[in-house]
Structure formats: C-alpha cells, structure tokens
C-alpha cells in the first residue's frame, strides 16, 4: 500500500506542475521503502516515465503540446541519459544524494523567485503574438500561427538544453521537468500551459531512456514494486490534471519549492 501511495504523490505532482515528480519520487522511495539510492533513482525514472505518458495521453486533444521543439529536446536528452546513468554506476550513494539535494535546492530557489516575480504566467493563455519587448532576444521565435521557427540558433538551444537535461536525468534519476518548463519559456514566448504540457512528452521519453539504461546495469530489478508505484502514479496523474485548473500557479510553485527541499534534506540527513 505504501508503494501505491508514493506513486499517487509522484503522479499528483506531475499532473499539477508538469515537473518535479522525480524530485519527490527519489526521497519518498528512499525514506518510506528503504531502498538504496541507485535503485530509488532507477525506479523514479520508470514511474515518472509511465506517469508522464499517461499525462500526455490525457492532453492529446488539448493542442497544448508543442511536438517539434518537444521531440528535439526529448531525443537529445534520451541520447545523453545513458551516459549520466553510466557515470552514476561509478559514484557512491552519498555523492549522488548530495548532488541530488544540491540540485533540488537550486531548483527550489529558482521556482520561488519566479513565482514571486511572475505569478501571472500560470494563468495567461499562450502568447502567440509578437508584442513582447523581449521577443527579439529569444532563441526561438513564434510565427503568426504560434509555431516555432526552427532556425539554427533555436535548434542549437534545444539540443544543448536537451543534452543537459538528459545527462542529469541519467545521473540523478530525475525526469528534468523542473528544467524543461523554464527552458521552453526562456527560449520562446510560450506560456506555462504549453510548457507544462510539452514537458510531459519530453519527461516521458528522457526518463524512459534513463530507466532502460539503468535496467541494463541492474542485477535484480523489482518489477512487482514498480507495478504498484506505477499504478498509483497513473491515479495521481489523473487527479492532478483534473484539479490543476483550480490552483494558482504562483502559490503552487512556492508550496512545491518548500516541499522538495524539505524531503530532499530529510533524505540527505538520513544517509549519515
């Protein structure tokens, strides 16, 4: 039952934010299931991938998923995820959890600042217009129909961003949504709704690649345990996507930022 509840929590976070499911998944699996760090990171990738795929299926008719930039980010990330996972096999548990906690704190601070400075970003409709003062500084511009203009600078930004996300995914067992959402919003004028929906597609592909590479290096994988967490993740994702429209983005980001720091810090303390 504990495994199912953990899955629900992971899926709920993904459904509400489109990011950060793995930032909860790794600490929860370590704290409540007592698994080693490397195994928790492998399970995290599998659960996040499955939950994200379910989230994508729920949003196929919404027209919010940006497939072209999403696939470029996802495929470049999928290529680097096994590299990060390979490197993780040479790292001890303490080093990995310290790196995971440090990354969590950095992301939480960024999320808090963004929520304070731009709380309206979670409520606006996609900005396909060209009226913003900063549009000339963006890597990827949107055309009149709101589609990406894939010029060399834009593609380069997507490839580099995807590679970094994929490497961290494989190394620390994270889906990368916490980087994908701000990256998409940094590169172009897309709003939070498009970025969140697109991030689910990217997370699914990158996490799946990371999990496959983890499974290849794993000696004894617990499929039954994974099934329980995944089933909970599906339910959590469904609930999250249903209630996300009623929760203010800025407030949600701040709550999430505090929670991930709290859980990752507790996990780090328990390692020593």
What pLDDT band is residue 75 in, cutting at 50, 70 and 90? Answer: very high
Q: Best-predicted range by mean pLDDT among 16-25, 213-222, 245-254?
A: 213-222
User: What average pLDDT does range 224-246 have in this prediction?
Assistant: 82
User: Residue 33: is its pLDDT beyond 60?
Assistant: yes
Q: Which of 55, 180, 190 is nearest to 124 (CA)?
A: 190
Question: Cα(186)–Cα(133) distance, rounded to whole angstroms?
Answer: 14
Judge contact between 195 and 176, C-beta under 8 A. no
Condensed to tens digits (0 to 9), the pLDDT of residues 201-212 reads 898 899 899 889
Question: Cα(55)–Cα(39) distance, rounded to whole angstroms?
Answer: 24
Residue 148: predicted pLDDT: 64
Listed in sequence order, the residues at least 6 apart from 8 whose beta carbon sits closer than 8 Å to its beta carbon are: 232, 233, 235, 236, 239
User: Residue 139: is its pLDDT beyond 50?
Assistant: yes
Written as six digits, the tokens of 131 are 């009226």
Judge contact between 171 and 213, C-beta under 8 A. no
Cα maximum dimension of the chain: 55
Residue 189: predicted pLDDT: 67
Per-residue H/E/C for 1-39: CHHHHHHHHHHHHHHHHCCCHHHHHHHHHHHHHCCCHHH
Q: 169 or 253: which carries more pLDDT confidence?
A: 169
On average, the pLDDT of the chain sits at: 78
Phi, psi of 147, deg, nearest 5: -105, 150
- Residue 180's DSSP bridge partners are none
pTM here is: 0.78
Residue 127: predicted pLDDT: 25
Q: 261 or 151: which carries more pLDDT confidence?
A: 261
């Amino acid at each position: 039952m504990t495994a199912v509840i953990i899955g629900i929590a992971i899926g709920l976070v993904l459904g509400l934010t489109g990011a950060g499911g793995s930032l909860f998944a790794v600490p929860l699996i370590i704290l409540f299931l007592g698994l080693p760090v490397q195994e928790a990171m492998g399970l995290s990738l599998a659960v996040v991938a499955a939950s994200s795929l379910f989230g994508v299926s729920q949003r196929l008719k919404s027209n919010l998923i940006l497939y072209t930039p999403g696939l470029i980010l996802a495929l470049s990330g999928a290529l680097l995820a096994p590299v990060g996972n390979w490197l993780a096999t040479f790292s001890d548990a303490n080093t990995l959890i310290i790196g995971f906690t440090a990354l969590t704190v950095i992301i939480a601070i960024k999320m808090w600042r963004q929520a304070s400075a731009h709380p309206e970003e979670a409520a606006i409709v996609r900005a396909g217009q060209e009226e913003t003062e900063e549009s000339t500084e963006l890597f990827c511009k949107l055309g009149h129909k709101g589609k990406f203009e894939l010029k060399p600078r834009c593609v380069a930004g997507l490839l580099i961003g995807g590679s970094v996300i994929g490497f961290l995914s494989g190394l620390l067992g994270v889906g990368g949504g916490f980087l994908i959402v701000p990256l998409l919003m940094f590169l172009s004028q897309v709003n939070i709704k498009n970025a969140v929906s697109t991030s689910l597609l990217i997370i699914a592909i990158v996490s799946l690649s990371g999990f496959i590479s983890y499974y290849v290096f794993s000696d004894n994988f617990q499929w039954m345990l994974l099934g329980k967490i995944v089933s909970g993740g599906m339910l959590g994702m469904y609930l999250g996507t249903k209630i996300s429209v009623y929760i203010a983005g800025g407030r949600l980001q701040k709550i999430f930022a505090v929670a991930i720091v709290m859980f990752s810090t507790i996990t780090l303390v328990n390692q020593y």
